Amino acid sequence: MKIVITESQYRRLITEDNKSFLDGMVNFPNIKNVIDPFIAKIFVTLKNDESLIPNLSYLSTNISNGTFKKIVREIMTLTDFTEGECVVLTHNYSSVYWDDIVMASETGDWKSLIGKPLEFYGKFNYPATVYHTGTVGGRSTGDAYGYARNIKEFIGKIGDGNVEIEDRYERIDSDETNIDWEIDWEFTNESFGDEEIDYNDIEIKI
């Protein structure tokens, strides 16, 4: 699902609380904007698995952090929630309410988590221009030259590759339908960082 937001909506999103954000812009099919009893039990269950202890590195790495993705997959296994919903829950489990979850687990009072607002965390998209560089093979006419005592010796040097090749810089024959393309990530990233952001083109993908 794609949700396009305008500049005015974007400015409202960064000033309003997360409860309003979830209610107003994003509506998930299976979760609301607060922790319900089912989610509270899931959080405590995850806490009891030592392999699912979270860290905060995902906040700066676009959830490439292995632990974050592992928790997302675990929640998807325990529920029939969408991936977007599981990302939101993993974020709240990993950082927003981790201390509360630890306390609830230690005291056995999982109900203390119920009603706490969920903070939105999800995938945003923005169109970008991706630059490529291409390599094309071509042929032109040139000369092979070398110094020798006779023709036979010169031919021998050609065979051994002991000659210099000089291009006459005339017409080049090339097959431009067969180009070896590679993405120029460095130039793409530099150019994208210089662009003026159009808030109307920002999408939330859930």
- pLDDT of amino acid 201: 84
User: Of residues 35 and 192, which shows the higher confidence score?
Assistant: 35
pLDDT at 51 over 80: yes
Identify the residue with better confidence: 11 or 182.
Answer: 182
Whole-prediction pTM: 0.70
Domain-by-domain residue ranges, the chain? Answer: 27-119, 133-183
pLDDT-based confidence at residue 31 (cuts at 50, 70, 90): confident
Average pLDDT, the chain: 85
The mean-pLDDT minimum among 31-45, 88-102, 156-170 falls in 156-170
pLDDT score at 16: 47
Please say if the pLDDT value at position 23 is more than 60.
no
- Which pair of tokens denotes residue 31? 């979760």
